[in-house]
Structure 1
Amino acid sequence: MEESLGEKQFHAWSWSVEECLKEYNVKLDKGLSTYEVEKRRERYGWNELQKEKGKPMWKLVFEQFDDMLVKILLVAAFISFILAYLHGNEIGESGFEVYVEPFVIVLILVLNAIVGVWQETNAEKALEALKEMQCESAKVLRDGYLVPDLPARELVPGDIVELRVGDKVPADMRIAGLKTSTLRVEQSSLTGEAMPVLKGTNPVHMDDCELQAKENMVFSGTTVVNGSCLCIVASTGMHTEIGKIQKQIHEASLEESDTPLKKKLDEFGNRLTTAIGLVCLTVWLINYKYFLTWDLVDGWPTNFRFSFEKCTYYFKIAVALAVAAIPEGLPAVITTCLALGTRKMAQKNAIVRKLPSVETLGCTTVICSDKTGTLTTNQMSVIEFFTLGGKTTSSRIFRVEGTTYDPKDGGIVDWNCYNMDANLQAMAEVCAVCNDAGIFCNGRLFRATGLPTEAALKVLVEKMGVPDSKVRSKIRDSQLAANYLIDSNTVKLGCCEWWTKRSKRLATLEFDRIRKSMSVIVREPTGSNRLLVKGAVENLLERSSHVQLADGSLVPIDESCRQLLLLRHLEMSSKGLRCLGVAYKDELGEFSDYYNESHPAHKKLLDPAYYSSIESELVFVGVVGLRDPPREEVHKAIDDCREAGIKVMVITGDNKSTAEAICREIRLLFGRR
């Protein structure tokens, strides 16, 4: 088993679940035994990224002097010191003033070495950031018992692990079974794509495929944003995808290639050394008659006389000329300029491993940039939403400011609907209750747990408020006092909590690719049940029979109303927005008195095939437009690149219209919007 396990563990995506369990010699309801775990750990080691040995300090210091100009300065400092010493003895002085020149040269070299070592040490620390992406604990099945908080480093191939919403994946694992109808995982840490990937259990019949295509695998360092599942650990430690990334980073760090600037400086140093050597030798030799004399007899030189004192004197002159010719300030100026450039880049969160690498920016002619998370914030936010007004032929568009998950970031433009009519109340209720996301605060940065789109909807609800003015005032006061934080990192969403307490959630109809929607059954304060739905606009319109107007009245959807809704949807999509439709249903038939799993109709909620029929005859409320907005600093960066003659290209896997809309907004593309 071990031999085949070692050979095939990286191809678990191509096996069926039964083949995986057989190959790993494990049962899904028992897990590995303690003996088998120890046996496998001896072979595969701990589930952690290796800490590569960094260069010792003495080597880092030594490398700072491995430069032609620096070597010339070392020689110049040594000769300058000797000359100062000899000159001081001649004139009878031995004070510090005599050694100012060699001291300054040595000080320049020391400062150069300090800056270089400091910069490279900081870069080495930055490379350790990958380890922070690893999970600390996991829920693992061992010896037939579920261990809720097993240290993730103790996992071995074949372990059975349970994952739920918000969990960080502790190793590369094969999905063995879904506990919910859908499972989605956010893999941007590996792929750069913000959109969560829908996962399943079916084998992928390819021995070699890209990471995105492995839809039955979850990878270390990624996050579950929807659903729960059971998995079989396939790869641990340095054999995981994130481990391979660390290995590639380490290998890249060992590659030594000179930049154009360093090559030119080395070439300049070699030529300067040769030129100075020849000039000094020439100056010394043309004065030979002063330290080498002779008598002429019959035209032939005889009785040679050599003056060591004069020879030394003219050698000092030649050396002094060499010291004067060496540009002692050049390495210092170059190091200072590069250090200042490095400092500016560090302020922009750009890590520079070696000082000469800063020079690469000066040689750049084309920049190929990813969109998600690079040009954009990698945070979904609601930009605008619309609902119908008092007629089926009129609509109201509300624009929303703020591009982060901080509820206090921006607000709804010209918002005066604090009492909230029926449409706005239905919009807020669906966004708050038909939602599994949360928000936490890491330092000053607000992050989403769960789907980014759902987190953005909850932020919208906080900006909309609640219809009860007294409750709204209490929520606002408590939020101002607590600054939205419950503890060190949990964000209190008072408005969302008010809606979830008001509409008790009874059941969830998970999202799937066929109907492209998600819904929840809730118990309203009136005691009746209601179905709250959100999903793709076109799909919800097909399943909707009525629309709700601002006064709460329901009107059958006619063709003109449908065309108006589709037109508004098209306008939002053309701006690069991701649109979500919002709807509800009050007449639930056999689910009108649904209460829990013991209800006779509960079995239909276990089969996604019934979901479309349940989500029919809906009442359409409105549309929410979301996007991943550009970073504020991107506009100026694009303009600076254009002025510098640098061409910027965007490489993204997003929809073409969405990418074009973002590129137009950052002024990378010009033309009609």
Structure 2
Amino acid sequence: MGKGGQDYVKRELPSPRASSNETFPAWGKEVRECEKHYGVNKISGLKSWDVEKQRQIYGFNELDKHEGPSLWNLILEQFNDTLVRILLAAAIISFVLAWYDGGEGGDEFTPFVEPLVIFLILIVNALVGVWQENNAGKALEALKEIQSEQATVIRDNKRIPHLPAKELVPGDIVHLKVGDKVPADMRVVELISSTLRVEQGSLTGESEAVNKTTKKVAEDADIQGKKCMLFAGTTVVNGSCISMVTQTGMETEMGKVHTQIHVAAQNEEDSPLKKKLNEFGEVLTKIIGVICALVWIINLKYFFTWEYDHNGWPTNFNFSFEKCMYYFEIAVALAVAAIPEGLPAVITTCLALGTRKMAQKNALVRKLRSVETLGCTTVICSDKTGTLTTNQMAVAKLVAMGDTVESFRGFKVDGTTYNPLDGKIHDWPSGGMDANLQMIAKVAAICNDASVSESEHKYVASGMPTEAALKVLVEKMGLPEDTDDQICFSDQMCPSPSDFLRCCRQWSRTERRIATLEFDRDRKSMGVIVKSQSGRRSLLVKGAVENLLERSTSIQLLDGTVVELDQNSRNHILDALRAMSTGALRCLGFAYKDELPEFETYDGDEDHPAHELLLKPSNYSSIESELTFVGMVGLRDPPREEVYQAIKDCKAAGIRVVVITGDNKNTAEAICREIGVFEPEEDITFKSLTGKEFMELQYQKAHFRQNGGLLFSRAEPIHKQEIVRLLKEDGEVVAMTGDGVNDAPALKLADIGIAMGIAGTEVAKEASDMVLADDNFSTIVAAVGEGRSIYNNMKAFIRYMISSNIGEVASIFLTAALGVPEGLIPVQLLWVNLVTDGPPGNSIGIQSTR
């Protein structure tokens, strides 16, 4: 028996070799099984000697530090280019020959000008490349920064409040509360509060905080399905719990993302333009080799001086080293002439100018090569939450009761942000708010723990996003015309920032909140007991519509009349609910109760008998019974207003849009239809798959060859990376957008990774090639247009430089072939001008014609 009377089970620890490969599926086991596996109980925690044994096996709870390539290797890598190597070889030979010849006419420096200029160009180009490559490891460092630094741990039956998180080992018992960052992957073993919600969108892509439970799930569940697991780097936004560490360091889901980013960084490929230049360089190398050989073969006769007898017959010959070196110089000159020395400088200049233009359009380029890659993009793989949508919940529809139990009033609500001035409510009653609408506004304003604030001209929510959206709805609804504090105007909105949230505050003044019945996963509702100015107590409730209907016995009509809620009325409400759910709206219902005999004299006093009822969440269902149903709302994470046109522009430009999200399938499909990825009535049975379904496909590449857009929902980081990899293998140039940690591996692997500048995590930004300053998908489309313009400009310059050099090569070759080294020089210049027809004039000023 261990301390505190708990059974303590001693187990044989696995060997270090097996531990990293054999992961115990804690999410698929009961709490007792987990305690037995790790030899621990939730009361006393691990023993000190077990902690040391665990640390010897699993090490510290920290991410590996991967050593990047050395500076010398980075420098050598910059010369891993066919054209650059040819140019470098020609420059070295040219320098040696200049040193050998020593200069002409007393000018000793002139022969060295050409090789020195070439060396300078190559050095500058290498420095720029090294600077870019040196930033590659920053994504891994950013990943470490989001880890928790300390944790509250139970060991040896003692509470350790500030243990460094890196000292955690599997089996440790950790206490977590609101605001805590999860320090490792953990199994929830006990809920201290009735509800535990965790914000894990950055890891999974889910737009809503997730309710956690102690119940086991299927062992093959995906990340989103592991409702009993807490993941490192996520944040507790509601409730508190006791949890058990199951994975640490590189074995956590965050550690797996770290590994994927590192692997992707090792497999970075050349940009499309560089690939083409390398191919061109290889062809050019062969041509130069053949021409140089021809120059030598044609002029072999000049290498020897013959002696003749009196009959004119050759009797002897002498080898002329000067002639041999002369034609060798011609061959070197030919090689130098064939290579466009200014090409690296021209490309760098074009790309640098392109980055300035893109910055003016809110596209901040982190790597120069990404500018021309944008111009070649054929597929845009986009995250949904925060990229195509605002990542801010908003009420899209308000359903109130009519003048009969079978009639409803539906109001469309505009707005995609937490700004109350953004949008309005359509078809609002001209006579102002009736009794039913007033009750909906009252419940939405008071039965609510969220807040909305203005910061740097942006509206930010604190608390649950759905509750923040309800507060914004209340501001758009305004107040009844007979309210003492008159802030209700004709457009049903608070008119200026100075009146921000005054409607909610006014409702809170008229009905003072004295008790809260916290949300829990069983009854799926939240209630508050309020005291009016007249002293009357009442209960206001919001929650899942189906659950509220089960506990409701009456319904409030338009004029405030309360009538019985029969089965026919329930069916009508459920039909309206299904219609809203089909449109991927998250629905919340509102109800109230006026008769509260137990709380008639309760005022928050802990000595009051009714207070005992509030201490036990098991009593909440009985308190929230015999309710009066008043209405419901449909909420969603709305698409950005400009996305529809941007998707349309992509289709017109021949760019496919593939949506990859961690959110659920129905919500993602509805958003994709709305923004134009799919047509409203299009059959998407084979175009919309979950990440797990895609990984099980037999012919994955064939799936990508369908016409039109594609959708992958419930996608984990490894799914996103695999999708990008397969698209690249299929010959596509892939741009990947995202904002979360779960997007980082795919951002790193894509031809060009594009992160969100406002909502994006530092991990995503550091893994990307480009950052959107406005988080706007349409900015990507504008950047692609600019990239195409820059790409065309560079091709025009390359054609000009190559055509110029062809003229030089031809004239030098003819000079050597005809044996007229000096007399043909004017002809060379004339030939160059005739072939090239001068520089391409306004090439650098070409604008996108999109």
**TM-score, normalised on structure 2?**
0.67
SS of 1:174's partner is strand
SS of 1:89's partner is coil
| 1:372 Cα deviation after fit | 3.0
Residue of structure 2 in register with 1:65 after alignment: 79
CA offset digits 1:108-140 (Å, max 9, x no partner): 323422332333333432343322332233333
Aligned-pair Cα RMSD in Å: 4.1
Q: What amino acid is the match of 2:201?
A: S
User: Structure 2 stretches of 5 or more lacking a match?
Assistant: 1-10, 683-850
Q: 2:542 aligns with which of 515, 523, 534?
A: 534
| 1:172 Cα deviation after fit | 0.8
Residue of structure 2 in register with 1:521 after alignment: 529
Contact 2:351 2:368 in 1 (8 A): no
Contact 1:504 1:522 in 2 (8 A): yes
Q: Distance in 1 between matches of 2:96 and 2:87?
A: 14
SS of 1:122's partner is coil
CA offset digits 1:448-479 (Å, max 9, x no partner): 55433223223334555666564969xx9999
SS of 2:278's partner is helix
Residue of structure 2 in register with 1:51 after alignment: 65
| 1:230 Cα deviation after fit | 0.8
| 1:117-136 equivalences in 2 (<5 Å) | 117-136=130-149
Residue of structure 2 in register with 1:11 after alignment: 25
Residue of structure 1 in register with 2:90 after alignment: 76
Residue of structure 1 in register with 2:190 after alignment: 177
> Relative to structure 1, is the Cα distance of residues 521 and 247 closer, same or farther in structure 2, using a 3 angstrom cutoff?
same
Q: Distance in 2 between matches of 1:246 and 1:345?
A: 30
Residue of structure 2 in register with 1:309 after alignment: 322
Q: Distance in 2 between matches of 1:32 and 1:479?
A: 57
Residue of structure 1 in register with 2:202 after alignment: 189
Residue of structure 2 in register with 1:667 after alignment: 676
SS of 1:129's partner is helix
Q: Does 1:581 align with 2:589?
A: yes
Q: What amino acid is the match of 2:31?
A: V
Contact 2:476 2:494 in 1 (8 A): no
Contact 2:474 2:504 in 1 (8 A): yes
Contact 1:528 1:593 in 2 (8 A): no
| 1:143-158 equivalences in 2 (<5 Å) | 143-158=156-171
Q: Distance in 2 between matches of 1:506 and 1:115?
A: 63
Q: What amino acid is the match of 1:21?
A: E
Contact 1:381 1:402 in 2 (8 A): yes
| 1:90 Cα deviation after fit | 0.8
> Relative to structure 1, is the Cα distance of residues 230 and 386 closer, same or farther in structure 2, using a 3 angstrom cutoff?
same
Q: Does 1:355 align with 2:369?
A: yes
Q: Distance in 2 between matches of 1:423 and 1:459?
A: 18
Contact 1:5 1:23 in 2 (8 A): no
> Relative to structure 1, is the Cα distance of residues 238 and 479 closer, same or farther in structure 2, using a 3 angstrom cutoff?
farther
Residue of structure 2 in register with 1:487 after alignment: none
Q: What amino acid is the match of 1:24?
A: Y
SS of 2:33's partner is helix
Q: What amino acid is the match of 2:321?
A: F
Q: Which has the higher contact order (CA 8 A, sep 6+)?
A: 2
The alignment-based identity, stated in percent, is 57
CA offset digits 1:405-433 (Å, max 9, x no partner): 45565565698999865444433332233
> Relative to structure 1, is the Cα distance of residues 563 and 356 closer, same or farther in structure 2, using a 3 angstrom cutoff?
closer
User: Structure 1 stretches of 5 or more lacking a match?
Assistant: 485-492
Q: What amino acid is the match of 1:122?
A: N
SS of 1:362's partner is coil
Q: 1:629 aligns with which of 618, 631, 638?
A: 638
SS of 1:90's partner is coil
Q: 2:515 aligns with which of 506, 521, 525?
A: 506
Contact 2:380 2:658 in 1 (8 A): yes
Q: Does 1:433 align with 2:446?
A: yes
CA offset digits 1:558-594 (Å, max 9, x no partner): 7897677556545544543222111111113435455
SS of 1:283's partner is helix
Q: Distance in 1 between matches of 2:598 and 2:419?
A: 40
Contact 2:478 2:494 in 1 (8 A): no
Q: Distance in 1 between matches of 2:581 and 2:217?
A: 33
Q: What amino acid is the match of 1:13?
A: W
Contact 1:166 1:450 in 2 (8 A): no
Contact 1:46 1:156 in 2 (8 A): yes
SS of 1:53's partner is coil
> Relative to structure 1, is the Cα distance of residues 40 and 421 closer, same or farther in structure 2, using a 3 angstrom cutoff?
same
| 1:282 Cα deviation after fit | 1.8
> Relative to structure 1, is the Cα distance of residues 462 and 210 closer, same or farther in structure 2, using a 3 angstrom cutoff?
same
Q: Distance in 1 between matches of 2:549 and 2:250?
A: 49
Q: Distance in 1 between matches of 2:256 and 2:456?
A: 30
Q: Does 1:283 align with 2:295?
A: yes
Q: Distance in 1 between matches of 2:281 and 2:273?
A: 12
Comparing 560-569 and 582-591, the one that deviates more: 560-569
Residue of structure 2 in register with 1:641 after alignment: 650
Q: Distance in 2 between matches of 1:448 and 1:61?
A: 48
> Relative to structure 1, is the Cα distance of residues 190 and 658 closer, same or farther in structure 2, using a 3 angstrom cutoff?
closer
Contact 1:259 1:357 in 2 (8 A): no
Q: 1:93 aligns with which of 97, 107, 129?
A: 107
Residue of structure 1 in register with 2:251 after alignment: 239
Q: Distance in 2 between matches of 1:136 and 1:587?
A: 49
Q: 1:228 aligns with which of 229, 236, 240?
A: 240
Q: Distance in 1 between matches of 2:626 and 2:144?
A: 50
Q: What amino acid is the match of 1:92?
A: G
Q: Distance in 1 between matches of 2:208 and 2:168?
A: 28
Q: 1:650 aligns with which of 650, 659, 673?
A: 659
Q: Distance in 1 between matches of 2:362 and 2:572?
A: 45
Q: What amino acid is the match of 1:521?
A: I
Contact 1:178 1:230 in 2 (8 A): yes
Contact 1:449 1:455 in 2 (8 A): yes
Residue of structure 2 in register with 1:385 after alignment: 398
Residue of structure 1 in register with 2:701 after alignment: none
Q: What amino acid is the match of 2:515?
A: L
Comparing 166-175 and 19-28, the one that deviates more: 19-28
Q: What amino acid is the match of 1:219?
A: F
| 1:136-535 equivalences in 2 (<5 Å) | 136-204=149-217, 206=219, 209-255=221-267, 257=269, 261-296=273-308, 301-335=314-348, 355=369, 359=373, 362=376, 364=378, 366-388=379-401, 397-406=410-419, 422-438=435-451, 448-464=461-477, 470=485, 480=497, 496=504, 499-500=507-508, 502-513=511-522, 515-535=523-543
Q: Distance in 2 between matches of 1:149 and 1:480?
A: 42
> Relative to structure 1, is the Cα distance of residues 44 and 548 closer, same or farther in structure 2, using a 3 angstrom cutoff?
same
Q: What amino acid is the match of 1:537?
A: V
CA offset digits 1:470-514 (Å, max 9, x no partner): 4969xx999957x98xxxxxxxx665566556422413142325x
> Relative to structure 1, is the Cα distance of residues 357 and 4 closer, same or farther in structure 2, using a 3 angstrom cutoff?
farther
Q: Distance in 2 between matches of 1:139 and 1:344?
A: 50
Q: What amino acid is the match of 1:519?
A: G
Q: Distance in 2 between matches of 1:314 and 1:384?
A: 84
> Relative to structure 1, is the Cα distance of residues 573 and 9 closer, same or farther in structure 2, using a 3 angstrom cutoff?
closer
Q: 1:20 aligns with which of 20, 28, 34?
A: 34
Q: Distance in 1 between matches of 2:472 and 2:95?
A: 69
Equivalent pairs, count: 658
SS of 1:504's partner is strand
